[in-house]
Structure 1
């Protein structure tokens, strides 16, 4: 057994001292010397410092008792963990038995603690929820990164912030890159989840703190290909540039190896913290993990996240288990459902609703931290074939999907911050401040002097978003009309800044943006149920942001504004809408599904062996990939005229329109507002000129879907020529609405 320890006066706060050993010990290295001294009950005494005594046995015991507490603040072990015949340490399994007896330490075979139950992970923009199946068939929720695991449990603790805080990057990377399984990290180097977010909120006006905290890990996955992200630790100002997320899956049954100087994967790191909270001494070791994803994530993005979680979760297992290939062949991290589907599976059975043979129509409005997802489907009884061949007791059949990529709690805060900055441009220009622009919003005259994507701009925006959060979450109690903050100017100098707030303008902005999202929801709902014409649709409001005042008001079905909206999309024969408002956390029933935890809990009902069956009409159109997610077409009369729509069948060619002088003007948007057309200049629209150098007069442009976010374009003299001669030279275009 290798016991590596350092004895240094620096660690003890006194000058360095030497260890004097007799000649019999001269051939021993320090680890061996430490072990002999423990076995013989000896200790160190510092020469010239009689008050300093180091007892190796005590030092080793303290290190072992804090083995899980030091890196991730799991509870410190009781002393019996080291010696009890029914406990012991996984890390000591396979070590020299005689030496362990001499040291009075108890090993434990980790294979004894492997559990077959599934773990479900809802990896969210703002927070992540982890649900675990119990041996009795029940479900539990887990806390990650809590400041005190012995404190009274509150239901909100199960919403684990998707946050990392970097305090000492160099020290962290030195261990993380060399030690694969359960690396000996220190919570004072990197923190995660609750405590990381608490540190940020307690010091959110400090740019150094802001730059050291990653608040939007999930959003970073989508942006990492086009936006450079740089970590700056708090303690030393050490800078580290992140590389885009890669798809690096572990090899089934094989142990991971150190990657040396490989680029840090922050998703893998966050997954490791989750894994450490899941795979504890008291709970056991899990090998099967189920994940959910937003509706519009491409398969490529999903695979990258699954790969990162596979590595991070596997690294939370003991090395002595990872070397057991027979056991590790069972290790599995897989996608089981979209987030709205899992939500419906968890919530519908708890309502006064029962499935029918035709199916109960439902629509999910999932208002999350990053985006808002729409999902439309039927909850029905199984057909005879589904009952006999699949053993299904219920079927959730997806008819359509959509979403608003710019409507989310954090996006609303960014929108509010952008408005406040614009309302205070005189102060901003005078102080030479910079800030960021939300992707959905247009630039304004003079914005080139104050808008950019620098770390200073991001820090200023993040600080203001933090100050505005109470306006979004507790509007009735918010009365600030002015904020005084220390921000950073273009030179990096700290400057005191006074920002005036017009509360009415900001609240109206929130209401207008939420109502726009509800309009898109109804538009997509109409399209999804076009063939079914249901008499009643159950609307499920999901996500913490759905509990806000503006969403509740927008879904009041007896309000004239609601009735006017539904008539606009469904006419005078609109179905009856039954709205099930988002349910908050209940400390009396901590494991009951609520607006945030239902996704993870529902995912456990969709893992292999469960009685619910999923059907997906959209996936049939997209060959198993994510559904196409854009409205695409020509610009006609200064508006996008969509030809391709979300959910469009892959690889089917469509005629877009005339090519003018070798150029075709193409427009696209992911906003549901684009279904009925969208005017150029809208912040959620993108327009591009596509060149066809060989296209003569009268040529037509044709396009088809090739991926969830990509199309292929070609030009031909006519439809007949295109059908007979083929596409010829084509242009592939990856669609993007960032800006």
Structure 2
């Protein structure tokens, strides 16, 4: 009866995301690759640039990469030059198919360098885009699989995938989603027996594809209303309407004993992969044996990417933190526990003292970000 005050009731089973998949991050990734491919020119002209998230330094990059104002301006300038390629503006292939673009950049002294010629490989850029989006969709399905594992499969007969954000308008997104759906419907280990109609992609609001979907559902569509929600603003409207007192009720099942879950998958490095020791489903304040205490220094790796649950995530995609213990003991271990969404504690103990709480060292607290 309480639900009668709402237009919709939504049950939230899990949260997972790829924080660097947005369009601007994609453009910075492309810009970095162009700078890297033109590093000789960058050195000759003394032009610096930034290191975007997920990108890694390369040999000799220490003289080129910094966080100066000039570096940010150069990255921004090149991002705007590459935007037509990412957004597939009309006749973009003519501009980028020539193999060279020009950009106005700045050297380390702040002097303007006009019409700097930069070599660019359009095929390489489009491959980077496809690989990065493919990685994001892979993590989406892994997160969805984990959500299914905590629900009753028999009650799920439809999964609507709602695309949002300007970048989701890219045809690459739709093509890759269709590829992954075709693959997933054959994966009975993850989903059980299902029909190919289980998944349906709903295009971003405001696009012709979205209007056609709405008309299929006998919704009245007016393409001329400029204030109607779009793929970008629709998310904001949804958040406003699902606030307390709003017209949408959200029942949050993504909790552990009434608290928000731990945000990360945490583990160690094994043969270039992240081996997860503690995942997002673990309850708080429970000690986990992590590593032996035979040396004073050890490392933890962590990420929010759902692929980490498979133990196949490339270690380069995880963040690393070096930690130190004050009590070295060949017969003891380092134990770790989560205490909040982004905070862990670690301590040195043996099998008996971890139970009796008579630890061999002080408890150390670490905040992850």
With a CA cutoff of 8 Å and minimum separation of 6, indicate the structure with the bigger relative contact order: 2
2:39 aligned with 1:425 = yes
**Closer/same/farther in 2, CA of residues 541 and 687 from structure 1, 3 Å limit:** same
Q: Which residue of 2 aligns with 1:506?
A: 125
Q: Which residue of 1 aligns with 2:138?
A: 519
2:325 aligned with 1:706 = no
Q: Which residue of 2 aligns with 1:170?
A: none
Shift of residue 734, structure 1, vs aligned partner:
2.0
Q: Which residue of 1 aligns with 2:224?
A: 588
Shift of residue 653, structure 1, vs aligned partner:
2.7
**Closer/same/farther in 2, CA of residues 551 and 621 from structure 1, 3 Å limit:** farther
Q: Is the 8 A contact 2:343 2:368 kept in 1?
A: yes
Where do 1:555-704 residues align within 5 Å? 555-556=177-178, 559=179, 562-565=181-184, 567=186, 570=190, 573=193, 576-584=198-206, 587-621=223-257, 623=259, 625=260, 627-646=261-280, 648-678=282-312, 682=316, 684-704=317-337
Q: Is the 8 A contact 2:148 2:191 kept in 1?
A: no
User: Take 2:160 and 2:64, find their aligned partners in 1: how far apart are those partners?
Assistant: 46
Q: Is the 8 A contact 2:34 2:119 kept in 1?
A: yes
User: Take 2:294 and 2:157, find their aligned partners in 1: how far apart are those partners?
Assistant: 47
Q: Which residue of 2 aligns with 1:205?
A: none
Shift of residue 648, structure 1, vs aligned partner:
4.2
**TM-score, normalising length: structure 2:** 0.84
Q: Is the 8 A contact 2:205 2:234 kept in 1?
A: no
Shift of residue 600, structure 1, vs aligned partner:
3.0
Q: Is the 8 A contact 1:434 1:452 kept in 2?
A: yes
Q: Which residue of 2 aligns with 1:410?
A: 24
Q: Is the 8 A contact 2:307 2:313 kept in 1?
A: no
Q: Which residue of 1 aligns with 2:364?
A: 731
Q: Which residue of 2 aligns with 1:487?
A: 105
Q: Is the 8 A contact 2:13 2:147 kept in 1?
A: yes
Shift of residue 573, structure 1, vs aligned partner:
2.9
Where do 1:98-497 residues align within 5 Å? 386-387=2-3, 391-392=5-6, 394-474=8-88, 477-479=91-93, 480=95, 481-496=99-114, 497=116
**TM-score, normalising length: structure 1:** 0.44
Q: Deviations over 1:636-655 (max 9, x none)?
A: 34432112223543333322
Q: Deviations over 1:62-103 (max 9, x none)?
A: xxxxxxxxxxxxxxxxxxxxxxxxxxxxxxxxxxxxxxxxxx
Shift of residue 633, structure 1, vs aligned partner:
1.3
2:161 aligned with 1:539 = yes
**Closer/same/farther in 2, CA of residues 571 and 475 from structure 1, 3 Å limit:** farther
5+ unaligned residues in a row in structure 1: which ranges? 1-383
Q: Is the 8 A contact 2:263 2:342 kept in 1?
A: yes
Shift of residue 506, structure 1, vs aligned partner:
0.2
Shift of residue 598, structure 1, vs aligned partner:
1.6
Instruction: Give 3-state SS (helix, strand or coil) of 2:276's partner.
Output: coil
Equivalenced residue count is 343
Shift of residue 516, structure 1, vs aligned partner:
0.4
Whose Rg is larger? 1
Q: Deviations over 1:244-269 (max 9, x none)?
A: xxxxxxxxxxxxxxxxxxxxxxxxxx
Shift of residue 661, structure 1, vs aligned partner:
2.2
User: Take 1:680 and 1:522, find their aligned partners in 2: how far apart are those partners?
Assistant: 17
Q: Is the 8 A contact 2:269 2:315 kept in 1?
A: no
2:348 aligned with 1:715 = yes
Q: Deviations over 1:613-672 (max 9, x none)?
A: 22112244562x5x4221101233443211222354333332223333233332112323
Aligned-residue Cα RMSD (Å) equals 2.5
Q: Is the 8 A contact 2:28 2:75 kept in 1?
A: yes
User: Take 1:680 and 1:520, find their aligned partners in 2: how far apart are those partners?
Assistant: 13
Bigger drift between 424-433 and 722-731 goes to 722-731
Instruction: Give 3-state SS (helix, strand or coil) of 1:402's partner.
Output: coil
**Closer/same/farther in 2, CA of residues 694 and 604 from structure 1, 3 Å limit:** closer
Instruction: Give 3-state SS (helix, strand or coil) of 1:555's partner.
Output: helix
Shift of residue 393, structure 1, vs aligned partner:
5.7
**Closer/same/farther in 2, CA of residues 567 and 706 from structure 1, 3 Å limit:** farther
Instruction: Give 3-state SS (helix, strand or coil) of 1:705's partner.
Output: strand
5+ unaligned residues in a row in structure 2: which ranges? 208-221
User: Take 2:313 and 2:246, find their aligned partners in 1: how far apart are those partners?
Assistant: 47
